[in-house]
Amino acid sequence: MNIIDLVSWACLMSGGILGIIAGIGLNRFPDFYTRMHAAGTIDTLVAALILIGLGFQAGLSLTLFKLLFIFVFIFFTSPTASHSLANAAVLGQLKPMLDKK
């Protein structure tokens, strides 16, 4: 096993672990806004780590270019979608859970 395989598997495993943590956060947080924070802040990082790991496995090829294109697409659309969902919740007058009283 060479160094590229080790770096690739480290990126893939850390992306997978962070994805699982985000899923747990989605399940455990009480309201829409905190769930949105758990999903919205980490999904781009998880996608980046997994795509970097796959890029190391692909080597210099057309597949690497396609993975880069996918990352650029996710990098711009994911925060935009999170912002749109939060804006729709605010305009729909969804109140955050501030207290458990």
| Burial label, 29 (beta-carbon count in 10 A; 0-12, 13-18, 19+) | middle
In this prediction the pTM is: 0.81
96 part of a folded domain: no
Q: Give pLDDT tens digits for 24-75.
A: 888 888 888 888 888 888 888 999 999 999 999 998 899 999 999 999 999 9
Query: 27 with 76: CB under 8 angstroms?
Result: no
Looking at the 3D structure of the chain, how many domains does it have? Answer: 1
97 part of a folded domain: no
56 part of a folded domain: yes
Determine the structural domain holding residue 78 and report its residue range.
3-91
- The angle, 0 to 180 degrees and rounded to 10, between the axes of the packed helices 62-91 and 32-58 is 180
99 part of a folded domain: no
Please give the sequence-ordered ranges of beta strands (E in DSSP) within 1-101, or none if there are none: none
User: d(Cα 34, Cα 31) in Å, to the nearest integer?
Assistant: 6
79 part of a folded domain: yes
Q: Which residue has the tokens 């690739």?
A: 8
32 part of a folded domain: yes
